[in-house]
Structure 1
Amino acid sequence: MGLTSNKVLALAVLLAVALFIATIWLWPRLAGRNARSVLGRVGLLLATQLMLFASVGLAANKSFLFYGSWADLFGQETEMGVVVDHSAGAKHLKVVETLGVDVPGGHKPAVGGQIQKVVIAGEKSKIEGPAYVYLPPEYFQPRYARRNFPASVVLTGYPGTAENLLKGLRYPATAYIQAAAGNMQPMILVMMRPTVAPPRDTECVDVPGGPQTETFFAKDLPQAISESYRVGTKPRNWGFMGNSTGGYCALKIAMHHPGNFGAGAGMSAYYKAAEDATTGDLFHGNRNEANRADLLWSLDHLKPSKSFFLVTSSREGEGNLQGTRLFIEKVKPPARVSSITLDSGGHNFGTWRREIAPALEWISGRLRAN
């Protein structure tokens, strides 16, 4: 049973209730002062409290998906060791599994679309990273057989898992619903975590002598996807979006690579690369690269492009409100910026679920299939 399954949560709750009842029932029998009675009372109290905390923790994790699996909880990397086929026709991308979409008829690709678990091999960066590719139902329908589709990269925060984008934030299901309602065009989503060199947080920069993460996301990823799926190679064909660290990466890549991406959406993004114990030394003393990783500095000093940006925050609960307002002020034509500002909302899945549907609609409206 998976960490986020209803069965695990229900079992934990039942055990907590059973232990509570057992404590009430057995307490009179353990009322003595001998060692056996004392140890019995202590054991029942500890066991009951442990299961209570486990139930609360499992419920919180199911809602916010801090951890997507037991392996993720215990720090085990289950994505390693996948053989990548570099033969002709599959040079930079290997499909390792296909999944249905959590929508009516989602087990049929032409009805609900399909999610493909893939491994992307970066030609320039030499990075191999797992991803989930959502293909809308139109991709499999005969009348769209010769049509290209716009695509958007979608990143989680750090140290999230790509599964969070499927289960907790429900990007594929939301994209399906929005397209079915006519609010957005059918669009391919490439869903990943920003950590392509785990456990290090590389902040989507090319680290001197280290992981070339910016090159992977800005160049290798769109190349691999365009080679493998019906996606164009022009900026108007590609968007980039994400939350938290993923939001920072989305804005950064769209800003610094306007020749590859036409739009970037950062939900609860920050605007300067973090530098802490999880990142290590990202710039090795190179002040130019450190400045470039500061998006507010970049808006002041770099030539503006024809990019579209979307930023989000809330008046109460988010720490990026001031930075978001500065970002909006500093965007200069021909670039354009839009925003979502909630009255209240913290840095969590609940907030992002309220922003994903309008963000998908926004980015879809700024991309083209051909």
Structure 2
Amino acid sequence: MNLLHGWVVSAVVLLSLALTGLGFGLVTRLGNGFLHGTKRVVTILAAQMCMFVAFASVINYQFGFFRNPGEISAFLAGNPGEGKVGVVAPAALPATPTSDPRYALTWKDSSDVGLKATNFLGPESGIKAEMRAWVPRGYPAAGVKYNVILLLPGTPGNASAIAPAIGAPNALQAAIDSGKIPPTILITSDINFAGRVATCADIIGGQKAETWFARDVPKAIQANFNVTTNVDGWTVIGPSMGAYCAARLGILHPEVYGNAVWLHGIDRPLDDSFPITPGVVNSQRLSALIKNVTRQGNLMFVSSTEDSGTTDDAQRVVDAAPDPSKIYHDARTQGGHGWVQWIKEFPDILTWLAKIHPTAHAS
């Protein structure tokens, strides 16, 4: 059952409302005694659960957190992987697009207006997931190599809905039209593979998420779009758990993503995102990963004292970095944790990119 189909959501909402109405009809029937009172309490609780399901279905439809009941089950269960975290060696962007037919993708209209969607089986990672793409007005323009922004959702979440939720298409088009940034395409991708809490790492015996983002996704983008090979033109952005993933990719793979943006994220990954092996979770702190990097890309951290813990987490990574001059920490005093805040901050990301790469037009 596809939880993102409109008719499914409508059916769930109507059924929930009908059951709620029936429940309150039973509650108001005359009667007394312990048994009747117990039935009333149970009916009221059931009615509240029905309304919760209806509300959750609408929210899920709006933001695309889960596509089917299996993803909900896997997310709630945690299902930690086996073994430890594997190392994905750095590998620069290919100078020319791959001719491997497995990267030639078919794109179709999606539920996000202006974005195309595809399902892609990564040849190197073995992960099958959805990607969505937005291109600016006039694409493809003759002689133009486009910059790339990869936008990652949080946990839960997937490739759908995040682009319009954060206002990316409109903000990008306005920045391109004004000459603030070079022509840029936008790609969104799942990060919670098979409904599991995101790691964006290769888990030995589990998902190869880092390979997906560092190898498969860049090659797929190059094979399907006319994009630059200059890493200054490749940026990965994410809010919340997506922020952890974005910064992790920027720290470990600056040879692919020259810029990474952490929006209201975390330093230490969620406990159920990595294998239950002593020391593994702490070893995957961003502040631990960045300490010994031999090459550091550009990193932007956006935090707020109103978003508990984000300012301290961001500063911890900044303090651990070999070259703090390549990190910008936008520490704010206002702004909570959610789309209402992130949509305000997305244009500031584009301003930062324009500042650090004033001449980074595609090449």
Partner residue of 1:67 out of 60, 65, 68:
65
- The reply to whether residue 98 of structure 1 matches residue 109 of structure 2 is yes
What is the deviation of 1:230?
A: 0.5
- For 1:302, the equivalent position in structure 2 comes to 293
Give deviations 1:286-328, integer Å, cap 9, x for gaps.
97x974x3322344333353x2110011112332221212223
Q: Give me the whole-angstrom Cα distance separating, in 2, the residues matched to 1:122 and 1:2.
A: 25
Could you tell me which runs of 5 or more consecutive residues in structure 1 were left unpaired when the two chains were aligned.
78-86, 103-113
Q: Give me the whole-angstrom Cα distance separating, in 2, the residues matched to 1:270 and 1:34.
A: 53
What is the deviation of 1:147?
A: 1.1
- For 1:359, the equivalent position in structure 2 comes to 349
Q: Secondary structure, in 3 states, of the residue corresponding to 2:130? A: strand
Q: Give me the whole-angstrom Cα distance separating, in 2, the residues matched to 1:69 and 1:121.
A: 18
The letter for the 2-side match of 1:234 is: N
- The reply to whether residue 277 of structure 1 matches residue 235 of structure 2 is no
Matches within 5 A, 1:327-342: 327-333=317-323, 336-342=326-332
- For 2:144, the equivalent position in structure 1 comes to 147
CA separation of 1:3 and 1:200: change in aligned 2, threshold 3 A: closer
Q: Give me the whole-angstrom Cα distance separating, in 2, the residues matched to 1:118 and 1:60.
A: 23
CA separation of 1:334 and 1:235: change in aligned 2, threshold 3 A: farther
TM-score normalised by L of structure 2: 0.73
**Who wins on radius of gyration, i.e. which is larger?**
1
Partner residue of 1:262 out of 258, 264, 271:
258
- For 1:84, the equivalent position in structure 2 comes to none
What is the deviation of 1:49?
A: 4.0
Could you tell me which runs of 5 or more consecutive residues in structure 2 were left unpaired when the two chains were aligned.
76-97
Q: Give me the whole-angstrom Cα distance separating, in 2, the residues matched to 1:159 and 1:100.
A: 18
- The reply to whether residue 136 of structure 1 matches residue 136 of structure 2 is yes
- For 2:186, the equivalent position in structure 1 comes to 189
What is the deviation of 1:96?
A: 4.2
What is the deviation of 1:188?
A: 0.9
- For 1:325, the equivalent position in structure 2 comes to 315
Q: Give me the whole-angstrom Cα distance separating, in 2, the residues matched to 1:194 and 1:259.
A: 20
The letter for the 1-side match of 2:292 is: H
The letter for the 2-side match of 1:262 is: G
Residues 12, 54 of structure 1: 8 Å contact kept: no
CA separation of 1:35 and 1:167: change in aligned 2, threshold 3 A: farther
Give deviations 1:48-69, integer Å, cap 9, x for gaps.
6455545654566577x37355
CA separation of 1:4 and 1:243: change in aligned 2, threshold 3 A: farther
Partner residue of 2:217 out of 217, 221, 224:
221
TM-score normalised by L of structure 1: 0.72
Give deviations 1:185-211, integer Å, cap 9, x for gaps.
431111012224x23345122223433
Matches within 5 A, 1:40-119: 45=44, 49-50=48-49, 52-54=51-53, 57=56, 65=63, 67=65, 69=67, 75=73, 90-99=101-110, 102=113, 114-119=114-119
Partner residue of 1:172 out of 169, 176, 179:
169
Root mean square deviation, CA, Å: 4.2
The letter for the 2-side match of 1:279 is: F
Partner residue of 2:334 out of 318, 341, 344:
344
What is the deviation of 1:175?
A: 2.6
- How much identity, in percent, do the aligned residues show? 20
Residues 124, 211 of structure 2: 8 Å contact kept: yes
CA separation of 1:69 and 1:182: change in aligned 2, threshold 3 A: farther
The letter for the 2-side match of 1:126 is: G
What is the deviation of 1:359?
A: 1.8
- For 2:249, the equivalent position in structure 1 comes to 253
CA separation of 1:269 and 1:277: change in aligned 2, threshold 3 A: closer
Residues 154, 190 of structure 1: 8 Å contact kept: yes
Residues 303, 311 of structure 2: 8 Å contact kept: yes
Q: Give me the whole-angstrom Cα distance separating, in 2, the residues matched to 1:186 and 1:250.
A: 21
What is the deviation of 1:152?
A: 1.5
Q: Give me the whole-angstrom Cα distance separating, in 2, the residues matched to 1:55 and 1:100.
A: 20
CA separation of 1:290 and 1:219: change in aligned 2, threshold 3 A: farther
- For 2:233, the equivalent position in structure 1 comes to 237
Q: Secondary structure, in 3 states, of the residue corresponding to 1:300? A: coil
CA separation of 1:55 and 1:228: change in aligned 2, threshold 3 A: closer
